[in-house]
Structure 1
Amino acid sequence: MDRGKHHSSEGSSPPSAAATLSRYESQKRRDWNTFGQFLRNQRPSVGLPHCNSSHVLDFLRYLDQFGKTKVHLQGCVFYGQPEPPAPCACPLKQAWGSLDALIGRLRAAYEENGGSPESNPFASGAIRIYLREVKECQSKARGIPYKKKGKKVNKTDDESNSSSSSTPFS
């Protein structure tokens, strides 16, 4: 008997459907289930239609207790050092990149589970601001600058053709 392996929400999908999910899809499903459990554990319980960005922010703050990234406080002697030489009492938190990826998966899952893009609490400005603040705080505290990746610049066809036509070996 394989208790706990099949959820009633999966409906009539065959048992092998879970095995064929990509790593991303599996993680997205786990994240969605975790968020749903978080909402159910609120007092009073919060139904998905009543979920807003405040609930999402509470969820992100709740997840910090499970973080593995040392984030130095401003008074810490290691503040701003990416590799401190000794341990300190500063808290462990969720890394910005992990939170950013999590929000991306939950944003997609919300819409896949019937939520409208217009009311998606994971896409709200408050969430973007929170993530930006976490990124800046962690960058300063850990001494690791986050650099925005620039777009690669490709030569236009005219530029590449004109440079190749001017070579004597064409």
Structure 2
Amino acid sequence: MSSERLNDSAEGSSRSTPQKQQQQQPAAAPPPLSRYESQKRRDWNTFGQYLRNQTPPVSLSQCNCNHVLDFLRQAWGSLDALIGRLRAAYEEHGGSPETNPFGNGAIRVYLREVKECQSKARGIPYKKKKKKRNQIKAEDPAKSSKQAA
């Protein structure tokens, strides 16, 4: 009987091997990540690397808005979008919305200052006022007639 058991177990294992292979392979591959999701993952990994490179390394629970500001000063691209993705990723990785350093008021102030600075550099006022624009348009014909005279 012991030889029969060995044969049965050997046969059983050879039969179960293809089944195990089928079970290990997913039935359907997960859908590819959207552009936003893959960028968010890259941003989060980059921020994690930044925290690990600090001396001493900073854990996520010790991270505060000063770390975020320092990271942003080194970042490039659209800061609003970057902050939005990192804010979402923070909460997806177990952080609470109340302690999210990416949602801190200092970050919003910094982003506003960057926008103002960038708009001044381009010669476009950050806060456009429709009244002034209408007044300028109304004054343009008068200016052109004065210049012609």
TM-score, normalised with respect to structure 1: 0.56
Relative to structure 1, the CA distance from residue 36 to residue 16 in structure 2 (aligned partners, 3 Å threshold; closer, same or farther) is: farther
Q: Does 1:30 align with 2:42?
A: yes
Deviation at 1:133, TM superposition (A): 0.4
Deviation at 1:142, TM superposition (A): 1.6
Q: Secondary structure at the match of 2:54?
A: coil
Specify the alignment match of 1:122 in structure 2: 102
Deviation at 1:16, TM superposition (A): 4.2
Report % sequence identity: 78
Superposed, 1:10-159 pairs within 5 Å as 16-17=29-30, 20-63=32-75, 67=76, 94=77, 98-146=78-126
Query: Partners of 1:28 and 1:56 in 2: how far apart?
Result: 15
Give CA deviations for 1:116-148 in whole Å, capped at 9, x if unaligned: 000000000000000000000111112134568
Task: Give 5+ residue unaligned stretches, structure 1.
Answer: 1-13, 68-93, 149-170
Specify the alignment match of 1:153 in structure 2: none
Q: Aligned AA for 2:62?
A: H
CA RMSD of aligned residues (A): 2.2
| Aligned residue pair count | 103
Q: Which has the greater radius of gyration? A: 2
Q: Which runs of 4+ in 1 moved over 2 A?
A: 14-17, 144-148
Q: Secondary structure at the match of 2:79?
A: helix
More helix by percentage: 2
Give CA deviations for 1:48-105 in whole Å, capped at 9, x if unaligned: 0100000000000112xxx4xxxxxxxxxxxxxxxxxxxxxxxxxx5xxx00110000
Are 2:40 and 2:85, in contact at CA under 8 Å, matched by a contact in 1?
A: yes
